[in-house]
A and B are shown apart, each in its own frame.
Chain A
Amino acid sequence: MKSCLGSRSPNVVSILFCVQLFVCGCGVDRVRIYEVPRARVQSSLKRIQQNSIDPKPESMVPDQVLEPGERKLTWTLPDDWKQNLGSGMKLADISPVNDSEVKISIVALSGNGGGLLSNLNRWRGQLGIQPVTTKELESDQIDFFFCSVGQVRLFKLFADSSEGQGFLIGVISLKSQTIFVKLSGPSERLVDYKDKMTSMLKSFRRVK
């Protein structure tokens, strides 16, 4: 063999250099345009709760989307309750038409929302109750069930005094966020509203 790359050798090096520069230039300021099917959520949990609640037509769906292409989250209002849509992380405020002291607020936080324990202890603090540890956390949990979007845990936090305030808190854990549904008001009346709260939590679902 006379020479490795013969008389073409200078060109080969130039070509290699040009290729390198060209490829280095690729990928800068890219705009990709494509179409994807809207995400399909086929949770196994969905099957469990498919016929648990007959959804009523939504009058209002909060302006929120979890993932691009994913469907909006909504719920069914209890009878004779009214809803005000929120802004930012607060999705909505809901209260009975004839009871202004009781209110449900629905808040969506990304990830685990700062942790269940820290949130529950914060609410315990608001009610003047001592914080709990992870092991004691379960003592506050009064119910556990599924809605069509995921698992729901229901917690009861009541102030120690007989006329104190209390919270019933539903926690729905989704893939990328956590929904906190907090029913607040006088403890005595919250007991009466528990079933309505549970029905509402079970009605959480996604709509187009």
Chain B
Amino acid sequence: MKAMLKKIGDPRIFVACCSWLIALLILGTIAQKYIGLYMAQEKYFSSWFFEWRNIPLPGGRLVLSVVFLNLSAFLSVHRWSLKKAGIFITHIGALLLLLGGFLTAHFSTEGSVVLEEGNSSNFVSDYHLLEIAIIDQSHESNDRVYAFSQDFLVEGKLLAHQEFPFAITIDRVFRNCSVLKRESTSDVTLKGMAKNFELVEEVLNKQHEQNRWGVRIQVTGVNAEINGSYILFEEMPVEHSFEVAGKPYLITLRRERRYLPFDIHLIDFQRVLHPGTGVAKSYHSDVYLVGKGRNEEKRKVRIEMNQPLREGGYTFYQASFSQSHGAEVSILAAVSNYGRLFPYISSLIMCLGLLIHLAMLIPTFLRRRRIQC
């Protein structure tokens, strides 16, 4: 086992991985000009493998995993000694950095909270991920939501659950689509908006968030009136609703929502301009945080540029605003990242390791110098 660990911990693997990471960095940087930042990140850095001219090549995730194992194995098999303390500490720092990256890759979320003045919101809409939500509206004040993650947006995938009495099959997925009026509306299997409109695939936009996703779905297991082919797309003006066994259901395709343990109520959004110019000096949103389970306790907070709000595991930044519809709308970026502190901590540890290593080398250096003199 030790021999195997020695092989895994071979520094040459580390050097090879670093070389490949540099190549990936160059490839990704060039590719983002053509396919956009998000797609380049997904293809080259967040993937295990990617294809280049039909040749599968290791992606960033695989390479970093190998580096992680390589460093772990290196630390496992090599003996500690005071002389090597600096090197060990530096390696531990590097491991922590990778661990932070791993946490960020798997557990961080980014989204936005859109608030109109005088209104409240209690959810974050993801920038990139989507979900198909089936909403049972039969309860008096609550909605019961069955949210199927983006991984279900695959052709042929079945969306079913014992708690609702129908099944949905994904017929076709459109990563970017437009909605066109249908020429013929005689097909009786087309239901809802699909009766009059159809989705047409469009060229992918480089700005990922500007793509309008759409799906064609088949609803089965109810009756002839409801069973059939439907279309769903982002920001549909009319959502599909039908009643099954006395329960009203809504089906919608939307950005993945994560609910906050509190409400954010926008009191006022202010945009301050430099006097006599149209150049913005600052933006800020005055909000109430209305807690749940804390007797609806209210706390007034100001969120402004470079002064985000940290609450409930999220950091809220003043990201954008809209004044086009009369009422002012403030848009907050909400980021949750458990690996947030790792780069700072690991950098400090690596610096400390390198300093110790250099300090250890000073006597040897001085001795050699004395001999040379």
Residues of A within 8 A of B (CB): 1-5, 9-10, 12-13, 16-17, 20, 23-24, 26-38, 40-45, 63-65, 68-69, 87-89, 91, 108-112, 150-151, 173-177
Contact = CB atoms under 8 A, between A and B. Distances in A.
18 contacts: A1-B81, A2-B79, A4-B75, A9-B77, A13-B8, A13-B73, A16-B69, A20-B102, A37-B143, A38-B142, A43-B119, A44-B117, A44-B327, A64-B237, A65-B239, A68-B254, A87-B193, A110-B236
B120 A33 contact: no
Contacts of B193: 87-88
Nearest to A1: B80
Contact of A4 (B1, B76, B143, B250): B76
B235 A30 contact: no
Interface stretch (B146-154, B213-221, B298-306, B345-353): B146-154
Contacts of A35: 139, 142-145
Contact of A36 (B68, B151, B259): B259
Contacts of B120: 40, 42
Nearest to A177: B237
Nearest to B121: A39
Contacts of A10: 1-2, 5, 76
Interface string B225-250: 00000000001111101000000001
Given A1-B80, A31-B149, A68-B133, A37 B142 contact: yes
A9 B76 CA distance: 5
A45 B117 CA distance: 10
A33 B76 contact: no
A68 B79 contact: no
A31 B161 contact: yes
B143 A69 contact: yes
Contacts of B271: none
B122 to A, nearest CB: 8
B151 to A, nearest CB: 5
Contacts of A20: 65, 68, 102
B106 A26 contact: yes
B135 interface: yes
Given A3-B76, A34-B259, A65-B239, 12 more contacts: A13-B73, A26-B106, A29-B151, A31-B161, A33-B146, A43-B327, A68-B250, A69-B143, A87-B195, A88-B196, A112-B325, A150-B325
B184 interface: no
Contacts, number: 163
Contact of A2 (B2, B80, B324): B80
B118 interface: yes
Contacts of B76: 3-5, 9-10, 12-13
B78 interface: yes
B235 A111 contact: yes
Contact of A68 (B75, B143, B327): B143
B114 interface: yes
Contacts of B81: 1
Contacts of B123: 36
B327 A151 contact: yes
B14 interface: no
B146 A43 contact: no
B142 A27 contact: no
Contacts of B133: 68
B239 A41 contact: no
Between A16, A27, A32, A89, the greatest number of chain B beta carbons within 10 A of the residue's beta carbon is seen for: A32
Between B118, B195, B238, B254, the greatest number of chain A beta carbons within 10 A of the residue's beta carbon is seen for: B238
A42 to B, nearest CB: 6
A38 B123 CA distance: 12
A3 B141 CA distance: 61
Contact of B238 (A3, A16, A108): A108
A28 B250 CA distance: 24
8 A-B pairs with the lowest CB-CB distances in the bound complex, closest first: A44-B118, A9-B76, A151-B326, A173-B325, A110-B235, A1-B80, A30-B149, A64-B238
Between A2, A68, A150, the greatest number of chain B beta carbons within 10 A of the residue's beta carbon is seen for: A68
B367 to A, nearest CB: 26
Contacts of B166: none
B308 to A, nearest CB: 23
B20 interface: no
B80 A3 contact: yes
B72 interface: yes
A16 B237 contact: no
Contacts of A89: 237-238
B238 A65 contact: yes
